[in-house]
Amino acid sequence: MSQQRKNAKLDVPEIWTRSCSGRVCSYAKMQMRNFKKGARLGAMSVSTDYKYDIFFSYKRHGLTKEWTRNFQGQLEFWLGQESEREIKTFVDIDTIEIGDRWPTKLQEGIRLSRCLVCVWSPMYFQSSWCVSEWQSFRARERVANIGSHGLIAPIKFHDGEYFPAEAQEVQSLDVRPFASTLPAFWNSPRSLELEDQVKLLAKSIARMLQRVPPFRQNWPIVERAGQAAATIPLGRL
């Protein structure tokens, strides 16, 4: 799309698009950036209801991408069967986590989602983005006077020993026996056992969705740093 068409779509004032000695001047660039940012924020602020049923929170890794995608797809399907309607899930597959800057689209996805499904592992809690997603829903529960993890469905993918104390006290679906990095897992009998667990999880989330509080535009967004990686002491040689 040409720059002229982009500007026309956002209705950018013409004076900001004119050139200064053959180039757009710095002031005009700044004004244009501010205008476009304001237009995007304005578009986000008009929501009056939830857009997604689930915010799917997980720590991405190349070796577990297929496992995560299949698990999320099965859950969405069986939850649809329980709810007798199409389920909409916010799942981010494109954004690469660099540093601690939390993308606006993830914050907006949280605000517009009814509940959180999170795939817990030690790497999950080392991620500032993942921890922020989890804690944002914990803050929502407190605001709405809902008990701990009344809007959150945790999945224990690996370990648990190095989870934060708050997470260790929470009941979660334990899929550690089914965790795999091999695509062949999904053609094995073990995958059928996992699907039975997914069906039970779908029933639980369907009940959770019935207790979701009415939408608020100002649901809290909480930014938290991930915890440091655990160190394993090495024995002396």
Q: Say whether 127 sits in a helix, a strand or coil.
A: coil
Measured CA to CA in angstroms, residue 229 lies from 94, 157, 161, 222 at distances of 24, 17, 12, 21
183 pLDDT above the threshold of 90:
yes
Query: In which band, very low, low, confident or very high, does the pLDDT at 94 lie, cut at 50, 70 and 90?
Result: low
CA angle at 201 for the pair 128 and 132, rounded to the nearest 5°: 10
Sheet hosting strand 52-57, strand order edge to edge:
89-90, 52-57, 113-120, 152-156, 173-174
pLDDT digits (tens, 9 = 90+) for 215-231: 999 999 999 988 877 65
CB of 116 closer than 8 Å to CB of 134: yes
Which residues of 94-188 form beta strands (DSSP E)?
113-120, 152-156, 173-174
pLDDT at 232: 52
pLDDT mean over 1-27? 44
Average pLDDT of the chain? 82
Which one has a higher pLDDT value, 199 or 20? 199
pLDDT at 221: 96
Q: Which helix (H) or strand (E) segment is 52 a member of? A: strand 52-57
CB of 173 closer than 8 Å to CB of 153: yes
In the chain, the percentage of residues whose pLDDT exceeds 70 is 74
pLDDT at 162: 84
pLDDT digits (tens, 9 = 90+) for 122-161: 999 999 999 999 999 999 999 999 999 999 999 999 987 8
pLDDT at 20: 43
11 pLDDT above the threshold of 90:
no
CB of 90 closer than 8 Å to CB of 53: no
pTM of the model: 0.76
β partners of residue 35:
none
pLDDT mean over 17-40? 45
* Main-chain dihedrals φ then ψ at residue 193, nearest 5 degrees: -65, -40
User: Residue 230 is encoded by which pair of tokens?
Assistant: 């655990």
Cα separation, 166 vs 169, whole angstroms: 6
